[in-house]
Structure 1
Amino acid sequence: MKKFYQLLLILGLVMTPFLTQAHVKWFTTVTPQKETIEHILSPEFMGLALLAAIVLAALTLIIPRMTEWGPVKKMEDRLSSLRKYSRHLLKYGTAVALMIQITNGTLFAPEFHIHNTLVVVLTWVVIGLLLIPHHIATKLGSAILLGLFIYVTIDQGVFHMLDYGFYVAIIGVLLVGHTRLEHIGFPFLYLGTGLSLCWVAVEKWVYPGMALDIIANHHVPTFGFEPALFLVMAAFIEFVVGYLLVVGILNRVLGFVVTCIFILTTMLFGMTEVVGHFMIHIVLIIFIIEGVSFYNPPIKMHKTKLDQFIFVFLNFIFVLATFLLIYYRFA
C-alpha cells in the first residue's frame, strides 16, 4: 500500500503538464477551430476511454483497502477534526479570490475583464460582506455575487460560463448556510466542481488547436508523446478528475494531488494561473478536509463490488459520451 501512495505521488508530478492547460483560452490567442467528430473519435480516443473506464472501475476495489491502512486512518482522523472550519475556509477564501481577481481587473476568470465601475463597486461590497463573521452578511454577499455571475453570463454567454459553473455551487453553499438545506451545500459543491472540470476537458478535444499552440509556445513537456496524442491524454486526465469528484471516489487523495499539481503549474504561467485557479485551490482544500463524510456518492447505491465496478465502468462511458455530444452540438 505504501508503494501505491508513492506511485500516486509520482503520477501527480508527471500529470503537472497535463493540467497546466486547464483553461486554454487564458494562455493563447489562436482562433478556435472546431475539430470534426470523426477526428475526435479516433482509435486512440476510444482506447483511452476504455482504459479510463477500467481503471476507474478498479478503484472501487482498491479504495476500500486503502482506507484500512494505518497511516491513512490517522490522516483521516486529523483531517476530520478540521471539518468545522470548512465553511469559514470557503467563505473567506472566496473573498480573497475576489480580491485577487478585482485588483487584476477581472472577475471570475482572467479572460473576463471588468470595465464597469458599478460591477467593481459591487464586487468590493461582496468582499466586505463575506469578511463579516455573520451568516446574514454572507447570504447577502452571496446573493450579490450571484447577480454578478448572471451579469457576466449575459455578457459572455451561457455556453462560455459553463466552464465556471463551480462558482454557482460555491454561491449555493454560502446561501444555504444556517438553513434547513445546509446539508446539501457541500454535495452540490462536489457536483458543480466535478462537472465544471469535465466540461473544460471536452474543450481540448473539440478545439485542439488552442491547446496545441500552448504546448508549442510554452514548451510544455510531452514525455515523448506526439503533441496531438498528449493532448487527448491530457483531456482524459482532466475529465477523469472531474468524474472522480462527482461519483465520490478518492476525494481526499485526489484533492491533495490535484492541488499540488495546480501549485506547480504556477511556475509555468505565473500570475494568470494564480488569478484563475486560486478559487479552485480553496475548493480542493475543502475536499481534502471533508472527504465524503457529508456526501452519499452515487456509487453507494450499489452494494456489491461487482455492481460498483460495472456501474462506474458503464456510467463513465455514458457521461463521457453525453458531455462530448452536448459540447460538440453547441460549440
Structure 2
Amino acid sequence: MAACLGLVAIGPAHAHVKWFCAYDVVGAPRGLESVLCDDFEKLVALSILALIVGGLFENTVLGAAMVRFLDRTTGWIRTNTELLFRAVCGGFFVALWSFGGIILTPELTTTNPALSWLQLAIAAGFLWRATLPASAAGIVALFAIAASQYGAFHLADYPIFLGLAVYFVLIAFQRDLFSLRPIDVVRYAAAVTLMWASVEKWAYPDWTFPLFIEHPTMTMGFDGEYFMKAAGAVEFALAFALICSPLIRRIAAILLSAAFVAAIFQFGKVDAIGHAPIIVAMIAIAADNTTAPLRHRALALMPMGYAAALAAFIGLYYGAHAILYGSNIL
C-alpha cells in the first residue's frame, strides 16, 4: 500500500516546497525519535524489497527485453544528449534572466542586477562547445554567491548544479573524470540532490502542509504525516536506484522524470523552469545504454548499501544542522 501511494502521488510530492511555501531552515527539524518510527521502518523495508525485486528482474529474459526496448526508443535522445543539456540549460538561464531577481532557484532571490546579465552570458555560452567551460564557471559562481547569502546548508539542496558544471567542462574537453563519464557525474549529483531532499521531507514535513490545504487531492486521503514519510521514502529509493545497475537506474530515471513533469501540471511554470535541468538529466540517464552485468554479490549487498546511504544522509543532515544551528536532533 505504501509503495503504491508513493508511486502514484510522487508527482505532486516533487514540487519543491521552498518555492511555494514558507520555510525556516534555521528552525529545529523533527526529532529523530519521531522520524524513525514504525511506519518509517516499514517504508524502508518496502523500498529495499522493491530494489531487490528490480535487481532480480534485470537478470531475467523480460529484463533483457526491456533493455532492448529502451535502447530502441531512446536512440535519438542518446545521440543528442549533449544538445539537449545545452538547449535546456540555456533556456533555463534565459528564463532566470527574464524573470530577474533570482540567483539559481525561485527562493534564492537577489537584488543585484548584474547577476541577471551573468545568467544571460551563461546561456550564450551554451551555443558553442568551446565556451562551455565559461558557462560552467558562471554556474559555479552563482552557486557560490547563493551559498554566501543563504548558507552552505541551504545550498546542499542543489549539488545538481555543480554536477552540471562539471558535465559541461568534461564535454568541452571530451574527457572523463577519472573513470566517470560526464553523464555519470550528473547522475551521481542528481542522486545526492534527491537523497538530501528526501531527508528534508522527513525533517520538515510541516513545510508542505499548506500545499495540502490548497491541493487536498495530493495526499489521496492519507494522513499528511504519513504521506510525507511515504513520499520521502519513495524519493530516496529512486534516488539511490540512480547509482545502481543499468536497468534499475534507467527505470528510476523514468519514474523521477514522470514525477517532475506531473508536478508541473499542478504547480505551473515556476516548477517547470525550476526543475528543467534535473528533468533533462533524468531523460539522459534513462537513455544511457551503458551495460554491466548485475552480479549476485552486488544484489546481495544492495540492502546493506541502501541502509548505509540512508544512515549517512540522515546523519549528515541532522548532524550538519546541529553543528551549524545548534538544533537538538533527538
Relative distance call for 1:126 and 1:186 in structure 2 (3 A) is same
Relative distance call for 1:186 and 1:9 in structure 2 (3 A) is farther
Shift in Å at residue 114 of structure 1? 2.9
Shift in Å at residue 224 of structure 1? 3.1
- 2: CA distance, partners of 1:221 / 1:82: 32
Q: Over residues 45-93 of structure 1, what are the superposed CA-to-partner deviations in whole Å (9 max), with x where a residue is unaligned?
A: 1121122112212211012323322x65243134245423111211221
Partner of 1:290: 288
Partner of 1:85: 80
**1:328 paired to 2:318:** yes
Q: State the AA in 1 paired with 2:37.
A: S
Q: State the AA in 1 paired with 2:263.
A: T
Shift in Å at residue 247 of structure 1? 2.1
Pairing 1:192-271 to 2, within 5 Å after superposition: 192-248=189-245, 249-271=247-269
Q: State the AA in 2 paired with 1:266.
A: I
Partner of 1:280: 278
Partner of 1:4: none
Q: Over residues 261-302 of structure 1, what are the superposed CA-to-partner deviations in whole Å (9 max), with x where a residue is unaligned?
A: 222211221122112111111111211222445xx6xxx6x7
- 2: CA distance, partners of 1:257 / 1:35: 28
**Long gaps (5+) in structure 2:** 322-330
**1:185 paired to 2:182:** yes
**1:117 paired to 2:107:** no
Q: State the AA in 1 paired with 2:47.
A: A
1:80–1:290: 8 Å Cα contact kept in structure 2? Answer: no
Aligned partner of 2:63 among 40, 64, 67? 67
2:9–2:231: 8 Å Cα contact kept in structure 1? Answer: no
Q: State the AA in 2 paired with 1:137.
A: T
Q: State the AA in 2 paired with 1:19.
A: H
Aligned partner of 2:20 among 27, 30, 38? 27
Report SS of the residue matched to 2:208.
helix
Deviates more, 1:37-46 or 1:140-149: 140-149
Report SS of the residue matched to 2:80.
helix
- 2: CA distance, partners of 1:251 / 1:176: 22
- 1: CA distance, partners of 2:137 / 2:218: 43
**Long gaps (5+) in structure 1:** 1-7
1:122–1:144: 8 Å Cα contact kept in structure 2? Answer: yes
Q: State the AA in 2 paired with 1:27.
A: F
Shift in Å at residue 104 of structure 1? 2.0
Deviates more, 1:188-197 or 1:108-117: 108-117
Relative distance call for 1:144 and 1:72 in structure 2 (3 A) is closer
Identical aligned residues as a percent: 20
Shift in Å at residue 324 of structure 1? 0.7
Partner of 1:3: none
- 2: CA distance, partners of 1:322 / 1:86: 32
2:253–2:285: 8 Å Cα contact kept in structure 1? Answer: yes
- 2: CA distance, partners of 1:77 / 1:292: 14
- 2: CA distance, partners of 1:53 / 1:303: 17
1:33–1:209: 8 Å Cα contact kept in structure 2? Answer: no
Q: State the AA in 2 paired with 1:237.
A: V
1:60–1:308: 8 Å Cα contact kept in structure 2? Answer: no
Relative distance call for 1:168 and 1:111 in structure 2 (3 A) is same
